[in-house]
Amino acid sequence: MLASCCPSLITPSNLEMYHHVRLIELVLYNLIFFFGAVFNALALWVFFCKIKKWTETKVYVINLVFADCFVICTLPSMSYLLWSKSTRNELCQFIEAIYIINMIVSIYIVSLISIDRYIAIKHPLKARTFRSPSKAALLCGLLWVSVIIGTTLSLWQRHAALCFQKDSTTPTTLSLLSIFFAFTLPLAILTFCSTEVIRNLKRHLNTNSPEEKSIQKSIHIIYANLIVFLVCFLPANCSLLLKVKASIPICACLANSNCCLDAFCYYFAAKEFQEFPSVFPTCISMRFKMNQSQESQPPTDQRLRVPISPFSFVECCQSS
């Protein structure tokens, strides 16, 4: 798991990398630290001070912001340890653990947000059973615990001389499994959920509805989230998989920049959707009562029987 989520890990042959490459890496990490701290601080301020209602989205995004903040806090130390070729002492192992745990949590919370959005849009009636702020908090708690346990066990089994150095004794099968669980699986979840939500929303773009502009913006936000994930993590994992050592430092910086872009993307996502899960119970209740009324009083014209569609939930929430 360590190699896949931490593309900064270096192999012994990478230790002789050109001095200017490490200098660029040091500068980039400090820039990411500065902008990431600013963006995530603003995101925390928005979600704690401006959005009072606790919803599923708020629970997930706050956990995401905290995970990204912890990753950002490790970047200056990581850049120094890579620069100085530090040995893997207790401090190094602690920084490695903080970095890896929070990077994995960040990736999986993005996946949970996409699943939550998929359920709300695609299956609005079932969503009342599966979605609630308490259940979102429980999922996040289980995620934190499982990642902490898994990462701790993984770090205990590593044998490396230098800090953030790849363990050359790790079997190829384990390396592939780590890439699968740290990148491929979350990417598959994010791609599937995003594609299904976009397909569902696009069906209503040409209906001349007053919400068409809002729908288009929502689609753009979902596309942006997917593209950010791909741009940040795909090059790093491809470099690790293909063992392109020269590109690993730059790809690592790109992957870590995701901590800045997460706060940026989900701030606009929350602003656009206006936290529509917060009015979810009211919307579902209204649509359910309408459906019951239609079933108990058969209309004279079958064309008047309007089934509940996934998008009717969005329309209800937007009109609220």
**Helix-strand-coil split of the chain, %, nearest 5:** 80, 0, 20
DSSP state of 291: H
Domains and CATH numbers, the chain: 2-276 (1.20.1070.10)
Residue type, 200: N
The residue among 95, 63, 77 whose CA lies nearest residue 33 is: 77
Residues in the chain with pLDDT values less than 50:
8-15, 273-320
Residue 297: predicted pLDDT = 46
Give the three-class secondary structure for 87: strand
pTM: 0.78
The residue among 18, 177, 184, 201 whose CA lies nearest residue 121 is: 201
Q: How far apart are CA 239 and CA 175, in angstroms?
A: 13
Residue 208: predicted pLDDT = 65
Residue type, 80: Y
Asked if 68 and 36 count as a contact pair (C-beta separation under 8 A), the reply is: yes
Residue 84: predicted pLDDT = 79
